[in-house]
Structure 1
Amino acid sequence: MGSLKVHEFISLDGVIEAPVWTADYPFGPQMMEAVGGLTATSDAILLGRHTYEMFAPAWSTRTAEDDPGAPFFNETAKYVVSSTLEKADWNNSTVLGPYDPEAVRELKQRTQGIYVSGSATLVRALLADGLVDELHLFLYPVTLGQGQRLFPEGADGQKLALTTCERFEGGVAHLVYGPAAD
């Protein structure tokens, strides 16, 4: 069974929406290695509709010369969770339909690893259903004051266990969480 690994860029106040604010910080070799490690162990990408609609036009035209991550995003099987999207045109994309934890469990059974990026609504559901094996937060030393948060006000609390913590240039911290031991 494959593991499901989530990757989020997050501000100190928990905002993950439209992380264009990360451009003010270096995306150096350590961070490239960390993100590359996530994609290297994955043979599937799971995305919510909004993230799919942002990623498809951005990645589908890139080549390895443009960005070393382009082959992973363009060649890897992509699965989109959506109750409104009827078809997915980006290479190797399949619409799974509305969120169904059993469908995600079945996908985990068929894959070596699943990579999830962005997709806040989907990630919240995956966390609530205990389907996330690793939550990789790239924590930026900035507060934004507004924007969609990974853990919104009023959401059920969850316990996680910190498994890895490393510091990158520019003050970005890479925090990896897994399920808390009962």
Structure 2
Amino acid sequence: MRNLIMWNVITLDGYFEGQSNWDLSFHGLVWGKELEELSLSQLRSADMLVFGANTYQGMADYWTKATEEEGEVAKYMNQLPKLVCSTTLSKAEWNQSRITKDAVSEISKLKTEGNGDMYVFGSGQLSISLMKAGLFDEFRLCIAPTFLGKGKKLFPEGIPNQTLKLVQTNPLTTGGVVLRYVPERKT
């Protein structure tokens, strides 16, 4: 059975994007050899990447033009199968991409069909829908040591009340901290 994992870099005050689309400048505060190795480890365990429409378009634009500096990360980003959850997109041309209009139903089905991990990167609106459906098996967050004060919150009001169990912390030499949480399932 596949695990659905959220992966995001957020600021200490909870923003995953600045005021303008694709304002991810705070990622530079935590990026380094340690986070690159973690990214590669995650990509090696993945058998699918999951995106909302806006994140898909931005990622496709970036990774299809990746330079040699992005190396092995770019290879995985371009080769792995991708599921685009969108009711508006009619085509997805990035290598090994397909679209679903019913994210909750499709991801529920896909979780039973494989053994690798499925990662949701960014994709704030999609993540809220998946949280409300109880589909995430793990939340992985890298906390960047900064306050933005404005931008797009990853966890806005209205998300379901859910208790999480901390399963791992990983402080980075850049000052960031990677946290791994799993939902506490009600028995």
Q: TM-score, normalised by structure 1?
A: 0.92
Q: Percent identity?
A: 32
- Describe how 1:15-54 pairs up with structure 2 within 5 A: 15-17=15-17, 18-23=23-28, 25-54=29-58
Q: CA deviation at 1:62?
A: 2.2
C-alpha distance in 1, partners of 2:154/2:70?
Answer: 30
In structure 1, the residue matched to 2:12 is: 12
Q: How many residues align?
A: 180
**Pair 1:3 & 2:6 matched:** no
Inter-CA distance 82–117: structure 2 relative to 1 (3 Å threshold):
same
Q: CA deviation at 1:115?
A: 1.5
C-alpha distance in 1, partners of 2:50/2:40?
Answer: 16
In structure 2, the residue matched to 1:127 is: 131
Write out per-residue CA displacement over residues 71-109 of structure 1, whole angstroms, 9 at most, x where no aligned residue. 11111111100000011011111011143x221011112
Which amino acid letter does the alignment assign opposite residue 6 of structure 2?
A: V
CA RMSD, aligned part only?
1.6
Select 1:102's aligned residue among 102, 105, 118. 105
Select 1:88's aligned residue among 67, 89, 92. 92
In structure 1, the residue matched to 2:77 is: 73
Contact 1:64–1:71 (Cα < 8 Å) also in 2:
no
C-alpha distance in 1, partners of 2:118/2:157?
Answer: 28
Which amino acid letter does the alignment assign opposite residue 24 of structure 2?
A: P
Q: CA deviation at 1:65?
A: 5.6
In structure 1, the residue matched to 2:20 is: none
Q: CA deviation at 1:143?
A: 0.8
Which amino acid letter does the alignment assign opposite residue 108 of structure 2?
A: R
Inter-CA distance 71–26: structure 2 relative to 1 (3 Å threshold):
same
Inter-CA distance 122–91: structure 2 relative to 1 (3 Å threshold):
same
Contact 1:161–1:181 (Cα < 8 Å) also in 2:
no
